[in-house]
Structure 1
């Protein structure tokens, strides 16, 4: 063989390599929906466990088990531009030129024809609206463009309604256009300050309701997420698309109070001032009246007249059935009512204040369920900057996270791994938190696991549960390693930072980090 032939062969091979190369992060192959795993084909981690949960058939769950709907759902972490579907969704800005990774990738792969079509025919898209274009060089036939809302806590209701409109509008446009498969990215952009978990709730329930009403028009809905949002969707999908009656029953204790209207839209209670002629309204937290002093932000001194003491005097005497407020039993009842009212005020504050500086720390979150279907709350001690954090906001975040969870049985896993004195909360703050939380927190807490405890942790736990929280003393368990949690929950359900597992392996070995044997 001549050098010329060798050179030509080498050149041809090099050209083939360059032709097959694509930029880093670009999918080389087209992905077909039939090659992806459907939601109903993923067996819940606790599906084969040897226990049963009795389902109360008289209490209808708002999102019951439906295998037909589940088969339409796919959760996938990948490149949306590689999907060969009828339509992919582009979350963009009003000028349709948003510089976000997903949108930029769509324009890059679609080619110049997309920009030309937008310039000539579409031009713009208002927030909450949708526009549809051809897919051009994409594997997808069409692109549905939508503009998600900017999130501001002052206009939370407007943001939620607009986000719902985006998801609903995309699905409606697909239906009107005769499309049967749609790939949905995360429309609630973090770039626009939208809390990821709250956005996921709206996305999931909106899709669920649409499939209930118009399921025959859509065969496949693919939630295309990044690695950050994947964990959120894995946890929340079973709430809206339970894969069994057992998972449906477990979801009852985790579903938020607001499950939306008939189409999944947020429900905003009418803002009105109501005159209550029945003082027993204080026994019903859901029946709230407006606190004018808070709303008007005024400080008006009325005086010592009985009218100014109405709630603590006449109303309370009627509420207690005519008992004297000096009666010891009446005193206990009044304190319990006041305690509940205080908690309700804090809960309302927690739902309106901006708590991102606390939620962003990541030291407190829910991580799946245990083998009995009970939600597991994880607290990472090393990530709790006690001396630097706003403790009032920390309490509010604790309340807003736990309130929907503690309505049923739940467990807490506290990881004391590699904590320092900067992470140790004071006894006074712990006492304040414990006293603020109502009885349901103590009653429904079934276990409190302390993982990697130290001598200081054991002494603090003993002192606290002996003198301040005896109601939970028998529920606290110290565990020397992560593996001991696997007797009560599947390892697939437990999401913890890497430094915890790395530390655990150094002291306990790696024997239990192998995959679980199939049931």
Structure 2
């Protein structure tokens, strides 16, 4: 297809980087939440990423085809043979023309995971294409995958400086096709870029995060944490940032896995033929130079044959046992106590089954008055209702319709409930639908499933209307208050449908 050209000879759909709105000028999408009452949940005393207007002017968050950007260099995420088919690569190769493919086949040929290769831009608006290969993600090798992804972004930025470019467009290097969690990848990308700009910002004037629709929500939430635009965003980041924000370059660090190089205590011995026992007793005494430095370092204690002060596996088993005992006590109470004051509210009940025969639990947010209800009995009623249902697969439909701040539970209470409920609750939950979500709901859902309940993160789905539930459950099986359907009709219109049940 021949591109339509303007009088200056540029393709009509070329996007000029200088015309994009820098992050410093983007207004917050909503009023920042006040976390001051949650002092115990604060993860940082001071901001690891203070507000910096100079850096914010360099950063751009943009949704679109990276191949259309008129920047000095664009990034392509690919495989080691540089022939992966994905939307980013397909767009770049289609626009660059056959010259790019020929250069790769004849000159570049391959790129190892975590490394970068450079080609000319050919027919692209960009002068260069920096190719990189993201890692495959496996929970057993999580640290390796995170370090490799950091290397991808770090090497891309360093190569850009070597090329002398002033503007670069970064795609999302991590891929769900390689099982990399999108939010973890975004954290690594943002903090790596932030640290690089802090140290080498003079060489780069513009860094565009060219994001697709699937990742824009994540970047909109996380970008204010690493590039806060105001003192309020910087303050809120103390609660929202993960406790581990990486090393000096944004690289992932594992404090309990770091091994410090220390002097061998035998080096201090003047006579190798003497009785070593007395010397080792001295070396092992508290306060001496060599082994006193080992306190709390599990890897070094294992290497030197010492028994760690604690048994992590044993502690975990004890914790699980205590959790189980506590839950069983609560279950016995739930079966004997009068819970009518909670059950009578009607905010939590079973409503039929979905199309796969799984029970559906309905939670009506508007009827849950967090500040007025007896929370102990609310927990007991939750256990009483769900315990017989969660022995098999089940789904939850939460209606956030017309809720107010009085209906929003605290982080502390949500965390307490989540920690009390045993593993079968998380394992057998197959879907958690949030109907009529708001910006607050999306923020809190992301926060909760990222930092408190990652086991259910992939099971949570936000739906703009009731009708979107009908693909998974028949309307006859869904019993909800009239105010929910009335509200839904006012915002979505009369677009309800009743698909036939599967045969």
TM-score with structure 1 setting the length: 0.56
> 1:274-319 deviations in whole A, cap 9, x for unaligned?
x9979xxxxxxx96857x99xxxxxxxxxxxxxx9x989xxxxxxx
Partner of 2:178: 192
Cα contact 2:45–2:238 (8 A) shared by 1: no
> 1:24-45 deviations in whole A, cap 9, x for unaligned?
xxx9611111222221112224
Partner of 2:27: 43
> 1:396-415 deviations in whole A, cap 9, x for unaligned?
xxxxxxxxxxxxxxxxxxx9
From 13, 22, 33, give the equivalent of 2:17: 33
* Structure 1 position 484 matched with structure 2 position 403: yes
From 252, 260, 267, give the equivalent of 2:246: 260
Could you tell me how far apart the structure 1 residues matched to 2:360 and 2:319 are? Answer: 27
Structure 1 residue 60 displacement after superposition: 2.5
Distance 1:276 1:240, change over 3 A: farther
Structure 1 residue 79 displacement after superposition: 0.5
Could you tell me how far apart the structure 1 residues matched to 2:64 and 2:238 are? Answer: 31
Structure 1 residue 65 displacement after superposition: 0.7
Distance 1:499 1:100, change over 3 A: same
Structure 1 residue 19 displacement after superposition: 6.6
Could you tell me how far apart the structure 1 residues matched to 2:31 and 2:99 are? Answer: 49
Distance 1:181 1:419, change over 3 A: farther
From 456, 463, 479, give the equivalent of 1:498: 463
Partner of 1:141: 127
Distance 1:143 1:252, change over 3 A: same
Structure 1 unaligned spans of 5+: 1-16, 22-26, 279-285, 294-307, 313-337, 347-391, 396-414, 426-448, 470-478, 514-519
Cα contact 2:32–2:233 (8 A) shared by 1: no
Structure 1 residue 500 displacement after superposition: 4.5
Cα contact 1:482–1:501 (8 A) shared by 2: no
Match of 1:215, SS? helix
Partner of 1:159: 145
Distance 1:287 1:511, change over 3 A: farther
> How many pairs does the alignment contain?
346
Q: Would you identify which runs of 4 or more consecutive aligned residues in structure 1 move more than 4 Å?
A: 17-21, 46-56, 275-278, 286-290, 340-346, 415-425, 458-462, 465-469, 486-491, 499-505, 509-513
Could you tell me how far apart the structure 2 residues matched to 1:242 and 1:174 are? Answer: 25
Distance 1:200 1:287, change over 3 A: farther
5 Å matches for 1:450-469? 451=365, 463-465=377-379
Structure 2 unaligned spans of 5+: 6-10, 261-283, 288-294, 328-346, 384-397, 409-436, 443-460, 468-479, 493-503
> 1:463-494 deviations in whole A, cap 9, x for unaligned?
3347899xxxxxxxxx9853333789994444
Partner of 2:114: 128
112-121 vs 195-204, greater mean Cα deviation:
112-121
> 1:42-80 deviations in whole A, cap 9, x for unaligned?
222445899999999x94210011111111111111111
Structure 1 residue 157 displacement after superposition: 1.5
Could you tell me how far apart the structure 2 residues matched to 1:253 and 1:89 are? Answer: 32
Distance 1:48 1:465, change over 3 A: closer
Could you tell me how far apart the structure 1 residues matched to 2:115 and 2:21 are? Answer: 31
> 1:329-352 deviations in whole A, cap 9, x for unaligned?
xxxxxxxxx9x9549977xxxxxx
Partner of 1:173: 159
> 1:117-160 deviations in whole A, cap 9, x for unaligned?
22232121111111111100011111011111111222212111
Structure 1 residue 507 displacement after superposition: 2.6
Match of 1:497, SS? strand
Distance 1:276 1:62, change over 3 A: farther
From 224, 227, 230, give the equivalent of 2:216: 230
Partner of 2:70: 84
Cα contact 2:67–2:91 (8 A) shared by 1: yes
Structure 1 residue 86 displacement after superposition: 0.5
RMSD of aligned alpha carbons: 4.9
Cα contact 1:186–1:224 (8 A) shared by 2: yes
Could you tell me how far apart the structure 2 residues matched to 1:261 and 1:344 are? Answer: 33
> 1:212-238 deviations in whole A, cap 9, x for unaligned?
001111111111111111111111111
Partner of 1:108: 94
From 203, 207, 219, give the equivalent of 1:217: 203
460-469 vs 82-91, greater mean Cα deviation:
460-469
Cα contact 2:33–2:236 (8 A) shared by 1: no
5 Å matches for 1:276-425? 289=298, 341-342=315-316, 420=352, 422=358
> 1:428-472 deviations in whole A, cap 9, x for unaligned?
xxxxxxxxxxxxxxxxxxxxx951559xxx999773347899xxx
